[in-house]
Amino acid sequence: MLVSINNRLLHGTALLAVSLAFGVTLGVAQGQAQDSAPTPDIAVTVPMPPDAALSADVQAPAADTAAPAAAQTEADAKPATEPPSDPTVIVELPPEAPLNLDSHPLDSHPTATIATPAPAAAEAQPAPQPSQVQQAETPPAAPASEQTADQSGNQSALRDRIRQALAAAVEAEPARTTKAQTQRREREAVAAFYATRDNAPLWSDGKALTKAGTALVARLDRAGEDGLVLGDFRSVPSIGNDEQAAITELALTNAAITYALQARGARIDPRTIGLITAKPEIPDVATILAALADAGDSVGDRLAAFNPPQPGYRALREKLAELRREHPAIANQRIGPGPVLRVGMKDQRVPLLRARLGVDAESETDPMLYDVRVASAVADFNRANGLPAVNTLTARTIAKLSGGEPLRLEAELLSNMERWRWMPRDMGETRIEVNIPDYRVNVMRGSELIHSARVVVGKPQTPTPVFSDRMQHLIVNPYWNVPTSIIQKEMMPAYAKDPSYFQRRGYEVAKTRNGQLVVRQPPGERNALGHIKFMFPNEHAVYLHDTPSRGLFANARRAYSHGCVRVDQPFRLAEVVLGKENGWSEQKVRSMVGGGERLVKLPETIPIHIEYFTAFVDDEGKVQLREDIYGYSRKVQTALGL
């Protein structure tokens, strides 16, 4: 069975060649949900490593020399060719041969499901049906010495299979491009990690999944709860022999790496979305595998921890789960284009149309039939949504149905969850957050909001950048050093029409040695920065500041600046960041207005995050939606295939 997966990860192809070595492409797929229920953790006895020897006190006991004579006579009377009555048989393993991929196509394996251990109380369970997950059979118990020898042999063979597969993956194809070189380095990291373990498996004992493997599968099955898309990682053979165990081992490792990379934000480069220099903290493959290997039975929780820890992310995640419970996935799928449907016609879109409109098919009805009941529901839908109340399915009706509110909201939640992955994991106990679409600045201390005010942000043509930094100081009575872009695009055309432009507006003009024009506005009531600015030196040369244009704060839509953030109540913000407990009251800061520039350092630098969230959950547990003023949500949704 071949799994065709569209890999959209920037760094999620670490085991692509590993999977190619088994004749299957594994990676990240777009548009597939993970809805399987988690598998319970089951205790499994893990065999000892092959290099471990049993101490003398646990060796198999010698034969009982005091056995009754009758029993001995009976044994002697049996034919020499009759097999012993002991049910345990030691099977000599054949010499290892290189992995012949051509003779073991994946399609030839019997069951396309990852085997998970059976519940402990197996005798109390009903007999498994053919559709259930295939379980590895447990052989009769053998003496300890025989078990150890058998397990050591099996582990050695499995390790050899894993080593061969990883070696083949590293050499699968020449690394001619930068991307291919990166992928090869990642494959080499996987091979190097396994080499440190002598290629011992992480997730199985060669016969079935271990408890750690079961916990990993349970977490991978729930990847969709975090909006992650892993593809059909279960489409590998059941563990029936060493080759199948190796395939399963590397498929699960590949899926775990993919999960971790996606959870940390590797699917999208933020710079491709807009003026965003927020940098996701992407771990390398070796770090991922080391963290998971050390987790043991808690590997599912360790893997889930790669998702953002912030309360804002978790709140959106809960709302996504709530939305999906209320609106089953089939009712939210897009209805594809096609001919206009009239009563009596048949079309493959009709079952989805029934689900969307809540029309159950009668037992004798062809589910593909566009019958009177469906047509009446379409007419009602058209009437309720301002369309002509006709009972035919037109392109306008399809467009309205495919843009249904539940579907739009799910895409909005997912795109905002993705942007949370770009934020620093530690945002600071005391921090400043500016949410551009919400037009607000919030100062937080832990989960407590200690100050909030309106802001004016950049226009769509001159957007406020999205990034994180640390506020270091503020300046009272600031000069405004006019950016070169504003001089060239706005001031020079005005100067060409009016040579007194700079003088009338009070600007100071000079030229550098290379002839570049420098313009600055001195402190005062007319200064574009107002009386105070808050500095966190950054590559974008943006900051928070006061403004003389205070009337703009009354507008609901406040995107008017050239990129900096204009702050309402700036002196109150100064008191908060300087600390009233440090003697900096709002009145004291105001008293500094007038005269030349005065720089005041913050007692401690404060993390500041310029964010872009169009969906968030408020204190009352309600989802708040904001205008996508820069189009970033739409671009993220497109990149995610939503």
Q: What is the pLDDT of residues 482-531, one digit of tens each?
A: 888 888 888 888 888 888 888 888 888 888 778 788 888 899 888 999 99
Question: DSSP string of 329-345?
Answer: GGGGSPPPP-PPB-TT-
CA distances from 443 to 430, 433, 434, 451 (A): 7, 6, 9, 5
Q: Are 574 and 474 in contact (CB under 8 A)?
A: yes
Q: Are 52 and 32 in contact (CB under 8 A)?
A: no
What letter represents residue 61's amino acid?
P
3-state DSSP call for residue 251? helix
Mean pLDDT of the chain: 77
What pTM did the predictor assign? 0.68
Q: Are 503 and 491 in contact (CB under 8 A)?
A: no
Question: In the 3-class helix/strand/coil scheme, how is 257-286 assigned residue by residue?
Answer: HHHHHHHCCCCCCHHHCCCECCCCCCCCHH
Q: What is the pLDDT of residues 61-91, one digit of tens each?
A: 344 433 444 444 344 444 444 444 433 333 3
CB atoms within 10 A of CB 6: 14
What letter represents residue 442's amino acid?
N
DSSP state of 391: S
CA distances from 236 to 100, 199, 239, 382, 633 (A): 17, 20, 9, 46, 36
Residue 628: which pLDDT band, with cuts at 50, 70 and 90? very high
Q: Is the pLDDT of residue 5 over 90?
A: no
Residue 114: which pLDDT band, with cuts at 50, 70 and 90? low
Question: DSSP string of 411-472?
Answer: HHHHHHHHHHTTS-S---SEEEEEETTTTEEEEEETTEEEEEEEEEEE-TTSPPPBEEEEEE
- Token pair of 203 as six digits: 């997730």
Beta partners for residue 561, in sequence order: 458
Over residues 396-406, mean pLDDT? 72
148-162, 298-312, 468-482, 587-601: segment of lowest average pLDDT: 148-162
Among 126-140, 169-183, 458-472, which range has the highest average pLDDT?
Answer: 458-472
Q: How many residues does the chain have?
A: 642
Q: Which of 275, 402, 285, 427 is nearest to 332 (CA)?
A: 402
Give the β-pairing of 480-481 and 508-511. Answer: unpaired
Would you state the pLDDT for residue 180?
Answer: 80
Over residues 613-617, mean pLDDT? 95
Alpha-carbon distance 503 to 492, whole Å? 13
Would you state the pLDDT for residue 497?
Answer: 87
Residue partners of 195: CB distance under 8 A and separation at least 6:
163
* 474: phi then psi, degrees, rounded to nearest 5: -130, 160
Q: Are 140 and 87 in contact (CB under 8 A)?
A: yes
Alpha-carbon distance 202 to 212, whole Å? 8
Would you state the pLDDT for residue 265?
Answer: 95
- For the chain, the first-to-last Cα distance in angstroms comes to 27
Question: In the 3-class helix/strand/coil scheme, how is 39-59 assigned residue by residue?
Answer: CCCCCCCCCCCCCCCCCHHHC
Q: Which of 543, 545, 604, 599 is nearest to 579 (CA)?
A: 604
Task: Determine if residue 474 is left, alpha or beta; phi over 0 gives left, psi from -120 to 50 gives alpha, anything else beta.
Answer: beta
Question: In the 3-class helix/strand/coil scheme, how is 620-638 assigned residue by residue?
Answer: CCCEEECCCCCCHHHHHHH
Give the β-pairing of 517-521 and 508-511. Answer: antiparallel
Over residues 169-180, mean pLDDT? 76
Maximum pairwise Cα distance, the chain: 126
Q: What is the pLDDT of residues 352-370, one digit of tens each?
A: 888 878 787 776 678 889 9
Angle, CA 284 vertex, CA 167 and CA 214 arms, to 5°: 75
Residue partners of 586: CB distance under 8 A and separation at least 6:
571, 572, 574, 575
Site of tokens 């600045």: 441
Would you state the pLDDT for residue 12?
Answer: 36
Helices and strands of the chain, counted as H and E runs: 19, 14
CB atoms within 10 A of CB 442: 17
Would you state the pLDDT for residue 560?
Answer: 95
Higher pLDDT, 401 or 496: 496
Q: Are 133 and 147 in contact (CB under 8 A)?
A: no
Alpha-carbon distance 169 to 352, whole Å? 42
Residue 578: which pLDDT band, with cuts at 50, 70 and 90? very high
Give the β-pairing of 430-435 and 598-611. Answer: parallel
Q: Are 478 and 532 in contact (CB under 8 A)?
A: yes
The sign of the CA dihedral 573, 579, 580, 585 is negative
Would you state the pLDDT for residue 329?
Answer: 58
Cα 639–chain centre separation: 13
DSSP state of 489: I
246-250, 394-398, 574-578: segment of lowest average pLDDT: 394-398
The sign of the CA dihedral 402, 403, 406, 409 is positive
Alpha-carbon distance 40 to 209, whole Å? 12
Q: Are 464 and 273 in contact (CB under 8 A)?
A: no
Helix (H), strand (E) at residue 35: none
Alpha-carbon distance 201 to 218, whole Å? 18
Alpha-carbon distance 261 to 293, whole Å? 16
Among 10-14, 121-125, 152-156, 592-596, which range has the highest average pLDDT?
Answer: 592-596
Q: What is the pLDDT of residues 121-151, one digit of tens each?
A: 433 344 434 333 333 333 444 444 444 444 4
Residue partners of 403: CB distance under 8 A and separation at least 6:
none
